[in-house]
Amino acid sequence: MSSSEPRRGGTLRLYGPGSMDHLDPASAYYALGHQVIRLFARQLFTYPAVRDLRDWRAIAPVPDVAVEVPTTYNAGLSVNHLTYTVRLRRGVLWDTTPPREVTAHDFVRGFKRMCNPVCGAGAIRYFTSTIRGLAEFASAYAAAVPHADATAAELADFQNRNEISGIRVLDPWTLVFELIRPASDFVHVLAMPFASAAPVEYDALVPDSDRFRREVRSNGPYRVVDYDHGRFLRLLRNPVWDKGADDVRNQHVDAVEVVMERADPVEVGRRITSGAADLSWASPVTEPYDANPTDPGNDLGYALNPYLVFNTVSPNNGGALADPGVRRALAWAFDKVAVLDIYDRLAAGTVMRPARSAIPPGNFGYEPFDLYPTPGDRGDPDRCRALLAEAGHPNGLTLTFLHRDVDANPEVAKSCAADLERAGITVDLLPMGHADYYAHLQDPANAEAGAWDLTSPSWTPDWFGDNGRAFLQPMFQTNRTRGTSNYGCYSNPEVDELIEEALATVDEDRAHRIWHRVDELVMRDAAIVPVLEHAPTIPHLKGARVRNAIPMPTIDRWFDLSNLWLEQAP
């Protein structure tokens, strides 16, 4: 069989040190999770796999469970752009016994679940600031069920007794969303995996609990049959999935297996080239290249990878990190080129540069500026030390630097720690497994307890094009609820207000100016230190039998597993 024709069969094997943050679509907010969720949880809209990143269709949502993208001209979008009528396609089935159709009620349940106070959506603000009544629903939910160890019955009781006023079910196949204000990116927001349908069976499950992970249901081409968090994942074909009801995905391989274990990129690469695995799971192992790659997406929105987050609510050092003056002092310290060299040695295969702003190039609202310029981006520890003294800490600080214990992360942490130590700061490195890292950051209780002071995550835009809010809203708008992506609990009322102002305007130029102003403010406050900006795709190494592996910018450059197939081993 030719490699251009899909072959059915085989088990796709991924191997590496990564982990999903959550299996539950309501809370999963990490690219690896989204790569897997695409296989079993469907949204109203999603992104197609398009090989050429310069093709605008690669970043444009298409109907998934919806019949069509609502427009004024198909009567799906009201003239004032405040009402979206979304019609659902028939024949999308849950893998329940007996199989049952996915309905509008399942989507409403999904929207309610993303507000749950146990393990909610990391970018809940996308939704609460857009859909009428969702903020009120989320607040009431948090007030009614204030404890993080709520039972499934408590959660279901609230969800089933309360409605979101701006989401209405006209009939099982028609959903109406009423917005607070026009949002030209609303279809992108609905394409987030948070907005997946949720079957009634989830009323009996605590979000992302062990039991949820055992009983998670599928309406996609694969279903989870075995999940050991941070260790192993196996998906098999969903027998009730019908290609006739899914324009986006396929079901070429029989099974998908992910083995998650500590391994360095060399080991991951060795497994793939030897045929013991097909694809990397998290390790940046790239196809061999001779010349440095060019940007494959013509400046399609870059990612921040890594950036440093300060825990602004840390009680350590007498609460020093709450002081913007202290954070500003620290922001001068870092040698960004040293971190770039670490990635270069990994042969990451992508275009990367030192980053200076919260919004990196190619994203809406980006303007080049640098509030902390140092010669050659090498950092200025002396200036850091001096400013720290001015801020009342002449004897330095002691900071806990939390980092993932895999891939380049330990080296990056060491490099940053060395920079800080040159400025007279003591750094305690705190490694953490990939499986726990993001979940740890998403719980503000850990930040409040001072479990960490500084950490180095990465951030890729949730969508491209009209994405002004895709960095600033989840990363910087006040959000101290479980599941938050504002890991350092940064809060500035002026920033919050400007974000709302940017969202409130339909004037693109004005919105651009406001997003840039927010960028300037968060950089002035040194809420983060941008370290590197990365082009949105990377030539990941593929095993010899992998065909049609298409990297998706919306899942941080990882492959669309639902459309690739495996050639038979020679």
Partner 1 sequence: MALITDFDSGLATASWDRVRDLFALDPAATHLNTGTIGAMPHEVVETYDRVTREWAGSLANIYPPSLYPEHRALIARDFGVDQDEMVICHNATEGISRIIAGLDLGPDDAVLTTTHECFSVLSNFNLAHNRFGVSVDLVTPPSGPDVTAEQVVAAFEAALTPRTKVMAFAAVTLYTGTRMPIRALCDLAQRHGVITIADAALMPGVLDVDLRRLGLDFMAGSGSKFQCGPLGTGLLYARNKVFPEHNPLPLPRFWPVVSTWYPLLGDMPKRTTTSVETCNLGDYLQSAGSASIGRAAALAKACELWNRIGRRRIEERALELGWHAKRRVVELFGEAALYSPLHDARLHAPVVAFKPFRDPEDAWNINKIMAFVDRLEAEHRIWIRWVEFPVPGSPHAHYAARVCTHLFNDHDEIDRALKVMARLADEMS
- Peptide bond preceding 361: is omega within 30 degrees of 0, i.e. cis? no
Question: CB of residue 300 vs partner 1: minimum separation in angstroms?
Answer: 23
Question: CB of residue 167 vs partner 1: minimum separation in angstroms?
Answer: 12
Question: CB of residue 74 vs partner 1: minimum separation in angstroms?
Answer: 11
174 binds partner 1 per the rule CB under 8 A: yes
Please give the size of the binding site for partner 1, defined by CB under 8 A. 19
349 binds partner 1 per the rule CB under 8 A: no
Binding mask 491-530 for partner 1 (x = CB under 8 A): ----------------xx----------------------
Question: CB of residue 466 vs partner 1: minimum separation in angstroms?
Answer: 14
- Residue 279 pairs in a beta bridge with 14, 542
Provide the strand spans (E) within 238-389.
255-260, 279-280, 303-304, 307-310, 352-354
Nearer to partner 1, 204 or 506 (CB): 506
User: b vs e for 524-556, b when ≥16 Cβ sit within 10 Å of the residue's Cβ?
Assistant: ebbbbbbbbbbbbbbbbbbbebbbbbbbbbbbb
74 binds partner 1 per the rule CB under 8 A: no
The one among 62, 142, 152, 176 contacting partner 1 by CB under 8 A: 176
The one among 136, 178, 201, 411 contacting partner 1 by CB under 8 A: 178
Question: CB of residue 506 vs partner 1: minimum separation in angstroms?
Answer: 9
The one among 50, 62, 67, 82 contacting partner 1 by CB under 8 A: 82
75 binds partner 1 per the rule CB under 8 A: yes
70 binds partner 1 per the rule CB under 8 A: no
Alpha carbon distance 173, 65 (integer Å):
10
Stretch 143-172 residues interacting with partner 1 (CB under 8 A) = 165-166, 168, 170-171
> Quick one: DSSP state of residue 322?
G
139 binds partner 1 per the rule CB under 8 A: no
Closest to 564 measured CA to CA, from 51, 192, 220 = 51
Alpha carbon distance 33, 223 (integer Å):
14
The one among 5, 79, 97, 569 contacting partner 1 by CB under 8 A: 79
Q: What amino acid occupies position 382?
A: D
- Residue 533 pairs in a beta bridge with 304, 353
Only one of the segments 70-78, 88-96, 111-119, 519-527 lies at the binding site for partner 1 (rule: CB under 8 A); that segment is: 70-78
80 binds partner 1 per the rule CB under 8 A: yes
Question: CB of residue 516 vs partner 1: minimum separation in angstroms?
Answer: 18
Nearer to partner 1, 228 or 508 (CB): 508
Q: What amino acid occupies position 246?
A: D
Alpha helices in 350-424 (DSSP H): 381-390, 409-422
Nearer to partner 1, 140 or 153 (CB): 140
Helix/strand/coil for 522: helix
CA distances from 434 to 46, 188, 455 (A): 27, 28, 13
Question: CB of residue 152 vs partner 1: minimum separation in angstroms?
Answer: 31
Sign of CA dihedral 482, 487, 492, 496: negative
Return the ∠ at Cα 423 (arms to 420 and 426), rounded to 5°.
55
Q: Encoding tokens for residue 157?
A: 């009781």
CA 497 to chain centre: 24
Phi, psi (degrees; rounded to nearest 5) at 185: -100, 15
Question: CB of residue 489 vs partner 1: minimum separation in angstroms?
Answer: 32
Question: CB of residue 136 vs partner 1: minimum separation in angstroms?
Answer: 12
List residues near partner 1 by CB under 8 A.
Answer: 72, 75, 78-80, 82-83, 85, 132, 165-166, 168, 170-171, 174, 176, 178, 507-508
